[in-house]
Structure 1
Amino acid sequence: MTQHGAKISKLENDFTRRREQEINYSRATNSLSSRRKKRAMVIVGVFLFFAMIFTIQIVRARANYADVNVQIAKQRGKYHHQQAVHKSLNARVSQLNDKNYVEKIIRDRYYYTKPGETVYSFPNKAPKDVNDVDE
């Protein structure tokens, strides 16, 4: 028996040694357990951080994808409109290559006549102005 102070003494036997070993073991396992918990929390935190970054990137990519699709749809609409305009202009060019059509336009807009022709104007039908565009 050893004395720890004047009035208290510790018994040295198998029970107290085993009890002391159990206490030391439980302190060590508690310390190890708390370290493991801290390590696990750090790992989970890092994982969540990267998961949030990837999620934000995915959301932004989808938003950009939607914007691009909207722009593509608008550009396709413009393209189809331009194709229709191009088609109508090609039709007008082909009409201008027709001699009879050009003659009709010159007679209607610019009041030209062939030699010996007489032009009659009717009150119900007002002539087009020279500057009006035929569409």
Structure 2
Amino acid sequence: MTNSKGKIRKLENEFTKKREIEIMKNKISVKLSAKRKRRAMFIVGLFMLCVCVFGVQIIRAKSNLAQINDQIVKQKADLKTEKATNKKLSVKVKQLNNRSYVEKLIRERYYYTKPGETVYSFPDKAIDDLD
């Protein structure tokens, strides 16, 4: 019977020793559980941070992908129109390589004639020539 506070003394027997050990274990487990709880919260917070960072990166990647897909669609449309223009110009180049077509074109637009030919201008065609 060691501890004395006034008139109250602590009994030194098996039960009180077991009880003290249980109280000490409870204190230690409370401390450990608090540490574990803090550690778990830290890990969860770190995980959430990673999820947010990667989520933002995924959203940006999807946005960039959508912009690139829009550009691809526009470029395909431009390519299609350019190919059509190229076809028309190819036909014109082929026609300009044809001597009879070039002669006809020069005669109609510029009123060129062969020696000894006479050019007649009709009134209904004269309006078209003014354009």
1-structure distance, mates of 2:112, 2:73: 48
2-structure distance, mates of 1:4, 1:100: 132
- CA deviation profile, 1:17-48 (whole Å, cap 9, x unmatched): 22111111111111111111111111111111
RMSD of equivalent CA atoms? 1.7
Rate the CA distance shift 1:6–1:97 in 2: closer, same or farther, 3 A. Answer: same
Consecutive unaligned residues of structure 1, counting only runs of 5 or more, are none
Map 1:42-57 → 2, pairs under 5 A: 42-57=42-57
Kindly, what percent of the aligned residue pairs are identical? 52
Aligned position for 1:62: 62
- CA deviation profile, 1:82-123 (whole Å, cap 9, x unmatched): 111111111111111111211111111111122332222222
Task: List, as ranges, runs of 4+ consecutive aligned residues in structure 1 with deviation greater than 6 Å.
Answer: none
Aligned pairs, number: 130
Report SS of the residue matched to 1:33: helix
Aligned position for 1:37: 37
- Deviation, 1:127, is 4.0
| TM-score (ref. length: structure 1) | 0.86
In terms of fraction of residues, the more helix-rich structure is 2
Task: Read off the aligned partner of 1:6 and give its amino acid letter.
Answer: G
Map 1:72-87 → 2, pairs under 5 A: 72-87=72-87
Task: Read off the aligned partner of 1:102 and give its amino acid letter.
Answer: V
Residues 108, 128 of structure 1: 8 Å contact kept: no
Report SS of the residue matched to 2:129: coil
Consecutive unaligned residues of structure 2, counting only runs of 5 or more, are none
Aligned position for 1:128: 129
Report SS of the residue matched to 1:124: helix
Report SS of the residue matched to 1:60: helix
